[in-house]
Amino acid sequence: MVTSMADLAIDLGALAHNYRQLRSLCAPQVKMLAVVKADAYGHGLVAAGRTLAGAGVDYLGVGSLEEGLALRQAGLALPVLLLLGILPQEAENAVAADLEIVLFRQDVAQAVAAAAHSQGKKARVHLKVDTGMGRLGLLQDEVLPFLASLKRHPQLEVMGLISHLAVAEIEDKSYTLKQLAQFTGLLAAARSQGWELPLSHIANSAATWELQEAHFGLVRPGLMLYGSAPAPHRPPPVALRPVMSFTSQVLQVKRLPPGSHISYGCTYTTTDWCRVAVVPVGYANGYSRLMSNRGEVLIRGRRAPIRGRVCMNLFMVDVSQIPGVKEGDRVTLLGTDGGERLSADELAGWAQTISYEIYLALGNANPRRYLGA
Ligand SMILES: Cc1ncc(COP(=O)(O)O)c(C=O)c1O
């Protein structure tokens, strides 16, 4: 029985399973950093971090100093990388918590070195290189001079180069291979100047799955850990299990005569007698208003289309074709009911976005209920 109006469940067993599946795609010596930034893509930073650490992951990657500190406060001692780097004023805290830092600014290098010096320790940094993502990082020509400048800071232990791939999920790998070639070239050039760079990395989920030559010393998957494929129409060779599911229950059932309007704006008008179920979920729950007149839910193992606009806390579905629907029946918005499944990719299609944003929107707007690891 469903007891709450909106129930967001996180299956930590599925998360651990997906981790093991991804590991099976990598050679034994390749380490894995699980990307748990943005509250583990909405799945819950500490719960996901603990589960992955328990399953044996080597590194966790977070988006902010606060997230790194939260992992430490939760007692997680494994290496944690601050994927966006830090601000100079965050250096003391980052170094004190032994967080590893992505680096691409001189002022940050200086601040981290000073913090490490004052704390009597070394700080691990990963030099960020922009090989074609056009986002964070040093451009090709800036890498060797930046590395040379780091010789001034013996407190910094340069672990390696880090870069990010822009289109690794598409079938045509030509752009990705260009990025890889630049990355490999830079690594070789740096090593020829005496830099050891023991841990360089560029592979997201897509490259972990499809490009072994991109694995280097460490892979950095996010999305696949949470059970989604980077290319929705090309299933990866490993069986991933969805981690997040979202259900509700029918709050009211009513029968509307032909010519009735449904929801704000009267954007849907019944053409016949229609049985409608009212669902107590809306955009306040991270369920996009773009689902209006477009999305579907599952009730009694069957699909029911959304009619009219999604409101802040409610929306309506047509259950005329589903016999016996009554108040209290489970409504599945994301997940499986009987033989039917609604994936984050399908929801993303209706909401004109990507599965990442579906997970974040639902995960951040609803209390999470964890199912055992
Ligand atoms: C720097 C970095 N590495 C790895 C990832 C993981 O990517 P994905 O979730 O596609 O596996 C991300 C995600 O955005 C990222 O920003």
pLDDT tens, residue by residue, 222-246 = 999 999 999 989 999 999 999 999 9
Q: Does any ligand 1 atom lie closer than 6 A to the CB of residue 80?
A: no
Three-state SS for 290? helix
What is the rounded radius of gyration, in angstroms, for the C-alpha atoms of the chain?
24
Q: Does any ligand 1 atom lie closer than 6 A to the CB of residue 204?
A: yes
H/E stretch holding 368 reads strand 368-371
Determine the distance separating the centroid of ligand 1 and the alpha carbon of 89, expressed in angstroms: 25
Is the pLDDT confidence value at 5 over 80? yes
DSSP 328: T
Q: Report the percentage of the chain scoring pLDDT > 90.
A: 97
pLDDT in tens, 109-136: 999 999 999 999 999 999 999 999 999 9
Residue 356 alpha carbon, nearest atom of ligand 1: 9
Q: Does any ligand 1 atom lie closer than 6 A to the CB of residue 229?
A: no
φ, ψ for residue 348, nearest 5 deg: -60, -40
Determine the distance separating the centroid of ligand 1 and the alpha carbon of 302, expressed in angstroms: 35
Is the pLDDT confidence value at 3 over 80? no
Strand order in the sheet with 156-162: 156-162, 123-128, 100-103, 80-82, 59-62, 31-35, 218-219
The structure's pTM equals 0.97
Alpha carbon nearest to ligand 1 atom 13, residue: 222
Ligand 1, residues 204, 219, 228, 359: which to mutate, most atoms within 8 A of Cβ? 204
Q: Does any ligand 1 atom lie closer than 6 A to the CB of residue 137?
A: no
* Residues pairing with 210 in the sheet: none
Is the pLDDT confidence value at 301 over 60? yes
Per-residue confidence band for 350, with pLDDT thresholds at 50, 70 and 90: very high
Q: Does any ligand 1 atom lie closer than 6 A to the CB of residue 205?
A: yes
Distance separating alpha carbons of residues 200 and 185, to the nearest angstrom: 13
Distance separating alpha carbons of residues 240 and 70, to the nearest angstrom: 28
pLDDT in tens, 161-189: 999 999 999 999 999 999 999 999 999 99
pLDDT in tens, 314-336: 999 999 999 999 999 999 999 99
Q: Which domains does the chain have, with CATH numbers?
A: 12-226 (3.20.20.10), 244-371 (2.40.37.10)
Where do the H-state alpha helices sit in 211-343? none
Burial letters 178-215, b for 16+ CB under 10 A, else e: ebbebbbebbeebeeeebebebbbbbbbbbbbbbeebb
Ligand 1, residues 19, 64, 127, 220: which to mutate, most atoms within 8 A of Cβ? 220
DSSP 15: H
Alpha carbon nearest to ligand 1 atom 14, residue: 222
Q: Does any ligand 1 atom lie closer than 6 A to the CB of residue 126?
A: no
Per-residue confidence band for 145, with pLDDT thresholds at 50, 70 and 90: very high
Q: What DSSP string runs through 52-65?
A: HHHHT-SEEEESSH
Residue 83 alpha carbon, nearest atom of ligand 1: 1
Is the pLDDT confidence value at 199 over 60? yes
Is the pLDDT confidence value at 263 over 70? yes
Active site residues: 37, 264
Name the residue with tokens 């930073």: 45
